[in-house]
């Protein structure tokens, strides 16, 4: 039996230098919530920034706020984080360089994993090489079938039943049914409003947007509990103090 584990999952922060105070307040609000609610790790499921182009001093201010999270944090890019042209750097890439080792940005186009909480939590995510119907955010998803580890995947895109709609970055759970069987929690980002469903035993959740500028201020608190007692609850950030 794995020890019960609590995660805070947020997404779609849409941090923008022109809204610096609300951006930093959003991170402080999540940090306070993580402490108050006893979260052991924090997941940010993409659209961290509102555009890839942010001035260096703003990214540094964001890095300072993220550094103050004592819990390990795992972030992935969303469609607002990526560059649509040449090989220039992007704000999330710059942030990744500034963060201490316990925080990880999973941006590899082939997907990559992070092991947190002394190996008790396996998190898989991949970068977003393009935001198009060809980009499958769960391509190559890795889960661990290990009774000593929780298996979590994180993805940014559009939950959809079929590829026929040709939405960009479609997430078709049936295409990954095999791998998802041993994933306890699928942390999603892209939608401003929260949404929870189950796929087999996997809890699938859009946390909603934590942004007070563009979003619903929502975030999710996930409890991983053996055997099969995983739950998720939506919370809302209070107004900044």
Whole-number CA gyration radius for the chain? 16
In the bound complex, what is the minimum distance in angstroms from residue 80's beta carbon to Mn ion? 6
- Say whether 34 sits in a helix, a strand or coil: helix
Q: Which is nearer to Mn ion, 218 or 230 (CB)?
A: 218
In the bound complex, what is the minimum distance in angstroms from residue 213's beta carbon to Mn ion? 15
Using CB atoms within 10 A of its CB, is residue 119 exposed (0-12), middle (13-18) or buried (19+)?
Answer: exposed
Q: Which is nearer to Mn ion, 190 or 235 (CB)?
A: 190
Is 135 a residue that touches Mn ion (CB under 5 A)?
no
In the bound complex, what is the minimum distance in angstroms from residue 228's beta carbon to Mn ion? 31
* Bridge partners for 222 per DSSP: 7, 232
Tell me, what DSSP letter sits at residue 213? S
In the bound complex, what is the minimum distance in angstroms from residue 158's beta carbon to Mn ion? 9
> What string marks each residue from 59 to 78 as x (binds Mn ion by CB under 5 A) or -?
-------------------x
Residues within window 79-98 making contact with Mn ion, judged by CB under 5 A? 79
Q: Which is nearer to Mn ion, 202 or 209 (CB)?
A: 209
Query: In the chain, which ranges are E strands?
Result: 5-10, 41-44, 73-75, 104-105, 112-116, 121-125, 150-156, 158-159, 170-171, 185-189, 195-199, 202-206, 218-224, 231-236
Q: Which residue has the tokens 């609000």?
A: 29
How crowded is residue 7: how many other Cβ atoms within 10 Å of its Cβ?
27
Residues within window 179-218 making contact with Mn ion, judged by CB under 5 A? 190
Question: Which residue stretch of 41-49, 55-63, 101-109, 232-240 sits at the interface with Mn ion (rule: CB under 5 A)?
Answer: 41-49
Q: With CB under 5 A, what is the number of residues at the site for Mn ion?
A: 4
Q: Which residue has the tokens 């946390």?
A: 207
Q: Which is nearer to Mn ion, 72 or 78 (CB)?
A: 78
Q: Which is nearer to Mn ion, 106 or 121 (CB)?
A: 106
In the bound complex, what is the minimum distance in angstroms from residue 178's beta carbon to Mn ion? 27
Q: Which is nearer to Mn ion, 111 or 137 (CB)?
A: 137
In the bound complex, what is the minimum distance in angstroms from residue 10's beta carbon to Mn ion? 13
Among 25, 47, 90, 112, binds Mn ion (CB under 5 A): 47
Q: Which is nearer to Mn ion, 121 or 213 (CB)?
A: 213
Give me the phi and psi of 130, to 5 degrees please.
Answer: -155, 155
The token pair at 146 is 């290990």
Region for residue 111 given its phi and psi (left: phi exceeds 0; alpha: psi -120 to 50; beta: otherwise): left
Q: Which residues bind Mn ion (CB under 5 A)?
A: 47, 78-79, 190
């Amino acid at each position: 039996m794995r020890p019960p584990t609590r995660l805070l999952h947020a997404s779609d922060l849409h941090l923008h230098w022109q809204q610096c105070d609300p951006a930093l307040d959003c991170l402080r609000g999540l940090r306070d919530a993580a402490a108050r609610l006893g979260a052991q790790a924090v997941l940010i499921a993409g659209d961290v920034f509102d555009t890839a182009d942010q001035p260096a001093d703003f990214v540094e201010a964001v890095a300072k706020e993220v550094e103050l999270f004592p819990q390990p944090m795992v972030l992935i890019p969303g469609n607002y984080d990526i560059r649509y042209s040449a090989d220039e750097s992007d704000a999330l890439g710059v942030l990744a360089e500034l963060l201490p080792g316990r925080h990880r940005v999973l941006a590899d186009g082939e997907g990559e994993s992070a092991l947190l909480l002394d190996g008790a939590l396996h998190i898989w995510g991949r970068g977003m090489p393009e935001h198009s119907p060809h980009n499958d955010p769960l391509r190559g998803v890795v889960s661990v079938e290990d009774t000593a580890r929780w298996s979590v995947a994180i993805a940014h895109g559009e939950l959809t039943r079929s590829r026929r709609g040709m939405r960009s970055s479609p997430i078709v759970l049936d295409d990954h049914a095999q791998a998802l069987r041993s994933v306890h929690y699928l942390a999603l980002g892209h939608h401003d409003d929260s949404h929870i469903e189950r796929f087999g035993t996997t809890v699938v959740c859009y946390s909603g947007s934590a942004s007070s500028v563009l979003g619903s201020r929502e975030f999710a608190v996930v409890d991983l509990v053996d055997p099969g007692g995983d739950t998720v609850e939506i919370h809302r950030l209070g107004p900044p103090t």
